């Protein structure tokens, strides 16, 4: 049994209404009914009540060109043809009232007529299968072969592979976005992948400030650049990626580097300087190690972000720039706030989006793909193919994924390790010899350097060998004693403070002497502190 064809379409209040010489003009609905290559058994013509006269006239012409078509007029209660909600809800009710039977009938939505809103709603309802059919698009004649009255015509099947291809292209684009952020490394760590998904969403949709935290070498700087690349890919950014490490901004030049200066505003200011904030106009400003930014610069930056304008050094004309701020830090900014070196209002401004990058030791399942990635990077750079011997690879992977391996420098450590092994590998093969040596090197480098702990900082007054001779148990005490000595006017002052409890039980209060003897054990003298 062949199926019948039913078309649903709006009355074209302009194109269908042509009166003069109408049999020599293209009218969408009449054109569709005149086709010999497409037989319509049933046509539902939708219109608003106020166009009833026109609808009757058009329907009569439809019947004339296509006597085999049953033409039915449907008045939809649309009162605002440009209002989405109004049109959609009426069309929705209408579709629901239809008794469709796709086994007997092919349905088609004619989307050439009606307001844009009507066309879009018709498309949406067809695409979502509220009407299980295809779309028909008609147009004026395109070539010599097409008759004037009939015009051109195409059927769009939303289920066709063409649509699948579109869908898979969207999918691919999405994958590409995450690929960009991950540098094409196939990572498995669930937390990291969720983080990347969130970053992708934010990077594409928002230009609010982003704060990237995480340990050194976890990839903060690289991620900032990738966000820019992603936005560029999406044509979401016009300006440049401007990057500065705040730890390098010192002294007078800090202000002018960031905010610019006016020629002659200080000695050495030979010409106007726009400053990095203005260079980032329309783009992204990446302030790495933002925790190191000085107090004045923080205050000025806060104003610049809040007001979008500021005064360059030596100028009384404000300048403007609109950029997205990405800040990076491996410090705990809250700690900096509590010790008074970072402004809490600035933190509140820059952490709309905070992303904490995990260190490599928290992503053990990603070490293997990263080893492959580093190897292929090395191969690309050196032009020589480098591979691990089987046992060598297993040994290195076992060590790398051992919870004892801290990967203190994170990707930087992994990158250097692979570079070193690849460079030393004879004939492009990394053997167990190279791996064993590398494991020793890494283990040595991860030993906690004594001076790292600032509370126990003894390096200012003792040599490393000297410190190593002191029991870890005694180090904090010595560090505390040194700290008190430094802040005291005299040795007896320091002694009074340090022995404040026990001195009360002594007959002779020789605090200074006690302190001198204590310091002498470490070859230290009060005067040197
Ligand atoms: N996701 C990643 N996968 C693999 N390698 C990465 C990744 N992110 C960064 N790297 C590499 O690791 C090294 C350090 O990255 P990056 O400079 O971005 O770290 P960082 O977090 O900014 O460090 P710091 O706090 O010291 O500034 C770079 O060589 C970079 O190419
Ligand atoms: Mg960095």
Q: Which range, of 68-72, 207-211, 423-427, 506-510, averages the lowest pLDDT?
A: 506-510
How many CB atoms are closer than 10 A to CB 34?
19
Secondary structure class of 42 (helix, strand, coil):
strand
Task: Give the confidence band of 419 by pLDDT, cuts at 50, 70, 90.
Answer: very high
Atom number, ligand 1, closest to the C-alpha of residue 370: 4
Question: In the predicted model, what is the mean pLDDT of residues 37-57?
Answer: 96
Query: Is the predicted pLDDT of residue 524 greater than 50, yes or no?
Result: yes
CA of 349 to the centre of ligand 1 (A): 25
Pocket test for ligand 1, best of 193, 222, 329 (most atoms within 8 A of CB): 222
Number of Cβ within 10 Å of residue 96's Cβ equals 10
pLDDT tens digits, 122-157 = 998 888 778 888 999 999 988 766 678 888 888 887
Atom 18 in ligand 1: which residue has the minimum CA distance?
Answer: 219
Task: Please give the distance, rounded to the nearest whole angstrom, from the Cα atom of residue 245 to the centre of ligand 2.
Answer: 8
Is 109's pLDDT higher than 60? yes
CA of 360 to the centre of ligand 1 (A): 10
Spatial CA neighbour of 38 closest among 65, 60, 1: 65
Give mean pLDDT, residues 242-269.
86
Give the chain's mean pLDDT: 89
Band of residue 451 on the pLDDT scale cut at 50, 70, 90: very low
Q: What is the CA radius of gyration of the chain?
A: 38
For the ranges 6-10, 263-267, 315-319, 406-410, which has the lowest average pLDDT? Answer: 263-267
Q: Which of 278, 288, 268 is nearest to 225 (CA)?
A: 288
pLDDT value of position 282: 93
The mean pLDDT of 400-416, rounded to a whole number, is 94
CA–centroid distance, residue 221 to ligand 1 (Å): 6
356 Cα to the center of ligand 1, angstroms:
13
Residue closest via CA to ligand 1's atom 13 equals 412
> Smallest Cα–Cα separation from 280: which of 216, 231, 335, 337?
231
User: What does the pLDDT average to over 54-70?
Assistant: 97
Q: Is residue 11 within 8 Å of residue 29, measured between CB atoms?
A: yes
Residue 368: the pLDDT is: 94
Identify the nearest ligand to the CA of 372 by its number. 1
Q: Which residue has the higher pLDDT, 519 or 148?
A: 519
95: tokens are 């579709």
> Which of 268, 246, 235, 25 is CA-nearest to residue 140?
25
Do 105 and 4 meet the contact criterion of CB atoms below 8 Å apart? yes
Most informative mutation of 183, 200, 219 for ligand 1 (most atoms within 8 A of CB): 219
pLDDT-based confidence at residue 297 (cuts at 50, 70, 90): very high
| For ligand 1, atom 24: residue with the closest CA | 216
Confidence (pLDDT) at 204: 80
Q: What does the block give as tokens for 123?
A: 């498309």
Whether the pLDDT of residue 509 is over 70: the answer is: yes
Closest ligand 1 atom number to CA of residue 329: 25
> Is 70 exceeded by the pLDDT of residue 322?
yes
**Alpha-carbon distance values, 322 to 276, 281, 364, 440, 458 (Å):** 12, 5, 40, 50, 46
Q: Considering every ligand atom, which ligand is closest to the CA of 217?
A: 1
Among the ranges given (74-83, 379-388, 455-464), the one the predictor scored with the smallest mean pLDDT: 455-464
pLDDT of residue 12: 95
CA–CA dist 347, 302 (Å, integer): 9
Q: What is the dihedral of CA 72, 78, 82, 84, to 10 degrees?
A: -100
pTM above 0.75, yes or no: no
CB 273 within 8 A of CB 261: yes
Residue 168 pLDDT level (bands cut at 50, 70, 90):
low
Q: How far apart are CA 32 and CA 499, in angstroms?
A: 103
Confidence (pLDDT) at 147: 77
Measured distance between the N- and C-terminal CA atoms of the chain, rounded to whole angstroms: 104
Q: Mean pLDDT across the stretch 334-361? A: 92
34 in helix, strand or coil? Answer: coil
Beta bridge partners of 110: 9, 136
Please state, in angstroms and rounded to a whole number, the distance separating the CA atoms of residues 157 and 524.
88
- Which protein residue's CA is at the shortest distance from atom 2 of ligand 1? 219
Burial class (CB in 10 A: 0-12, 13-18, 19+), 521: exposed
Q: Give me the domains of the chain, ranges plus CATH numbers.
A: 4-159 (3.40.50.10770), 173-356 (3.40.50.300), 360-446 (1.10.8.60), 454-528 (no CATH)
Q: Is there a contact between 459 and 451 (Cβ–Cβ < 8 Å)?
A: yes
């Amino acid at each position: 049994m062949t199926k019948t064809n039913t078309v649903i379409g709006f009355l074209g209040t302009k194109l269908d209404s042509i009166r003069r010489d109408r049999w020599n003009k293209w009218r969408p609905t009449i054109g569709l009914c005149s086709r010999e290559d497409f037989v319509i058994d049933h046509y539902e013509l939708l219109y608003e009540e106020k166009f009833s006269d026109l609808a009757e006239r058009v329907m009569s012409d439809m019947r004339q060109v296509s006597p085999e078509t049953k033409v039915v007029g449907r008045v939809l209660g649309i009162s605002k043809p440009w209002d989405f909600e109004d049109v959609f809800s009426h069309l929705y009710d209408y579709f629901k009232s239809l008794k469709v039977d796709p086994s007997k009938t092919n349905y088609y939505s004619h989307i050439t007529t009606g307001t844009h809103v009507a066309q879009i709603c018709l498309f949406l309802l067809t695409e979502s299968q509220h009407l299980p059919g295809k779309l028909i698009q008609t147009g004026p004649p395109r070539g010599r072969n097409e008759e004037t009255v009939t015009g051109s015509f195409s059927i769009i099947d939303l289920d066709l592979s063409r649509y699948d291809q579109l869908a898979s292209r969207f999918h691919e684009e999405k994958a590409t976005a995450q690929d960009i952020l991950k540098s094409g490394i196939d990572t498995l760590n669930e937390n990291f992948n969720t983080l990347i998904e969130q970053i992708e969403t934010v990077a594409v949709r928002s230009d609010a400030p982003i704060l990237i935290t995480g340990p050194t070498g976890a990839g903060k700087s690289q991620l900032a650049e990738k966000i820019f690349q992603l936005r560029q890919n999406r044509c979401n950014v016009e300006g440049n990626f401007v990057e500065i490490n705040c730890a390098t901004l010192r002294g007078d030049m800090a202000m002018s580097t960031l905010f610019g200066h006016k020629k002659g505003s200080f000695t050495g200011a030979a010409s106007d300087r726009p400053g990095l904030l203005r260079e980032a106009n329309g783009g992204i400003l990446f302030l790495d190690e933002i925790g190191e930014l000085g107090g004045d610069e923080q205050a000025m930056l806060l104003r610049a972000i809040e007001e979008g304008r500021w005064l360059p050094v030596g100028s009384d004309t404000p300048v403007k720039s609109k950029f997205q701020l990405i800040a990076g830090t491996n410090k705990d900014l809250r700690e900096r706030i509590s010790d008074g070196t970072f402004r809490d209002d600035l933190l509140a401004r820059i952490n709309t989006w905070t992303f904490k990058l995990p260190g490599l030791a928290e992503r053990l399942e990603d070490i293997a793909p990263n080893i492959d990635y580093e190897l292929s990077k090395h191969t690309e750079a050196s032009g020589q193919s480098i591979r691990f011997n089987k046992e060598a690879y297993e040994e290195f992977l076992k060590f790398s994924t051992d919870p004892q391996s801290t990967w203190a420098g994170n990707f930087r450590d992994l990158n250097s390790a692979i570079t070193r092994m690849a460079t030393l590998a004879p004939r492009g093969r990394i053997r167990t010899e190279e791996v064993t040596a590398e494991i020793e090197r890494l283990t040595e480098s991860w030993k906690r350097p004594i001076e790292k702990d600032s509370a126990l900082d003894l390096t200012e007054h003792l040599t490393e060998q000297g410190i190593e001779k002191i029991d870890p148990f005694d180090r904090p005490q010595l560090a505390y004693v040194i700290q008190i000595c430094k802040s005291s006017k005299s040795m007896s002052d320091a002694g009074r403070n340090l022995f404040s409890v026990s001195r009360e039980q002594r007959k002779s209060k020789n605090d200074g002497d006690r302190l001198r003897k204590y310091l002498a054990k470490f070859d230290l003298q009060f005067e040197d502190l």
